[in-house]
């Protein structure tokens, strides 16, 4: 039996050690996709931005994206370039993309608020329940969704490991039971918070209006009657996408159809 215990503990420890391998696998780009020096491309784009050549800067930044790489700073700088070109919709879209990578960045928050104030739009409003939920998951919102997944997984594995130790030696739970219960609470919290974030960021699809004054129609037909109008930079929920049209829901709950390219999915 002791052998089984040892084997089990070893396997859990091995699992903990292999977790970074998953992260590594997920976070390192395949060699064929990597540009020769993406960082250099980024610096070149920054130099173009400093010269005021915003259009060229965007094109250069986008070569990094085309190579299959992304980062919060990259989206942030593209957003700044679009803002300088007065393309508020695309700027807000890029800032929203950046927010997924660095949700706690104060510069990003400031620029996003500024872009929204210029566009005269607001963030998608939330109900009381969602507001309570947002406060509940606030600590987990300080990291990206990927980092939150890693954190929740590590806590989960640690909880399993500690639980196994307590099962193997019942005296431990009498002495150090508080650690066990705290870990269980953190584990449940982190998994719940990750689940809520996953639902709001991956299951519900948001989009940003990138065209100036967009007509939203009753049906996905050009000649259909315009139901309402959306300003550039407005945040909407993308309900579905079909045949070059997107069905979107406005913040007041009204639903209509817009051409696909006029709303960029975050």
Partner 1 sequence: MNKTAKIIAILSIALLAGMGDVCARDVKFEVSVDRKQLAIGESCQVGLTFYEQRGIPIPDLGKIDGFEVKYIGPSTMMTVINGKMSSSLTYRYSFLPLRIGNFQVGPFTFDYKGDKYTSNMVAVEVVEEKRLTAAPVLTERDALIDRVNLDDRIFLTLRVAKANAYTNELVPVIVKLYVNKLNVSDIQLPTFGQEGFSKADFKEPKQYRERMAGVVYDVLEFGTSIFGTRSGEYKLGPAKIKCNIMVKKSASSRGWSRDNLFEDDFFDDFLTRYERHPVELESGDTPLVISSLPTAGRPASFSGAVGDYQFIFSASPGKVNLGDPVTLNMEINGNGNFNTVLVPELDNTDNFRVYDPEIKTDEHRKSFKVVLIPESDKITATPKAVFSYFDPNRREYRTISQGPVSITVEKGKYEAPAQVVGAPLQESRRAVEREDLMRDIIYIKESPGKLVPKDRYIYNNPAFLMFLPLPIIFLAVFSFLEARRARFRTDSAYAGRLLALKASRRGMKQLKDDIRSNDAKRFYETLFKTLQEYLGNRLDMPTAGITSDIIGSVLAPKGVDLDVIRKIKGLFDVCDRARFAFMNVADFKMTSDLKELQDIIKYFERIKI
Site residues (vs partner 1, CB under 8 A): 1, 4-5, 8, 11-12, 15, 18, 22-23, 25-30, 33, 38-39, 42, 46, 49, 64-65, 68-74, 76-77, 80-81, 83-84, 101-102, 107, 110-111, 114-115, 117, 145-146, 149-150, 153, 156-157, 160, 163-164, 167-168, 194, 198, 223-228
Residue among 24 and 129 whose Cβ is closer to partner 1 = 24
Q: Provide, rounded to whole angstroms, the least separation between the CB of residue 177 and partner 1.
A: 16
Which CB, 35 or 124, lies closer to partner 1?
35
Min separation Cβ 103 and partner 1, Å: 13
Q: For 207, list phi and psi in degrees, rounded to 5.
A: -140, 160
Distances in Å between the alpha carbon of 130 and those of 11, 112, 135, 243?
Answer: 39, 21, 9, 32
The packing angle between helices 88-101 and 72-84, to 10°, is 170
Q: How far is the CB of 231 from partner 1 (least distance, A)?
A: 12
* Residue placing its CB nearer to partner 1 in the complex, 136 or 228: 228
Distance in Å, CB of 79 to partner 1, minimum: 9
**CB of 19 vs partner 1, minimal distance in Å:** 8
Whether 98 contacts 81, CB under 8 Å: no
The answer to whether 63 and 33 have CB atoms below 8 angstroms apart is no
User: Which residue, 76 or 257, is less far from partner 1 as judged by CB?
Assistant: 76
Neighbours of 142 (CB within 10 A): 12
What is the rounded distance in angstroms from the CA atom of residue 8 to the CA atom of residue 163? 12
Cβ partners under 8 Å of residue 32, min gap 6: none
Nearer to partner 1, 156 or 235 (CB): 156
User: Closest CB to partner 1 among 48 and 132?
Assistant: 48
Q: Is 256 helix (H, G, I), strand (E, B) or coil?
A: strand
Q: Which residue has the tokens 């130790």?
A: 165
- Measure Cα distances from 87 to 84, 94, 137, 233 in Å: 8, 11, 33, 9
Q: Tell the smallest beta-carbon distance from residue 119 to partner 1 (Å).
A: 13
């Amino acid at each position: 039996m002791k052998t089984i215990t040892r084997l089990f503990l070893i396997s859990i420890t091995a699992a903990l050690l292999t977790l970074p391998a998953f992260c590594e696998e997920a976070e390192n780009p395949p060699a064929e996709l990597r540009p020769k020096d993406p960082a250099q491309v980024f610096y070149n784009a920054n130099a173009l931005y400093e010269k005021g050549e915003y259009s060229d800067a965007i094109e250069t930044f986008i070569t990094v994206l085309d190579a299959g790489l992304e980062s919060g700073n990259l989206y942030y700088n593209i957003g700044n370039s679009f803002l300088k070109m007065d393309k508020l919709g695309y700027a807000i879209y890029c800032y929203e993309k950046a927010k997924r990578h660095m949700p706690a960045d104060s510069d990003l928050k400031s620029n996003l608020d500024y872009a929204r104030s210029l566009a005269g739009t607001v963030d998608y409003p939330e109900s009381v329940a969602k507001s309570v939920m947002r406060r509940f998951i606030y600590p987990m919102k300080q990291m990206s969704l990927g980092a939150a997944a890693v954190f929740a997984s590590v806590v989960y594995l640690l909880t399993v490991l500690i639980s196994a130790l307590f099962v193997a030696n019942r005296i431990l739970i009498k002495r150090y039971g508080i650690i066990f219960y705290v870990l269980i609470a953190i584990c449940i919290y982190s998994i719940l918070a990750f689940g809520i974030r996953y639902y709001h960021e991956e299951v519900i699809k948001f989009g940003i209006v990138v065209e100036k004054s967009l007509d939203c129609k009753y049906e996905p037909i050009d000649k259909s009657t315009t139901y309402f109008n959306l300003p550039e930079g407005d945040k909407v929920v993308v309900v579905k996408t079909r045949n070059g049209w997107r069905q979107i829901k406005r913040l007041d709950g009204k639903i209509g159809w817009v051409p696909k390219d006029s709303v960029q999915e975050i």
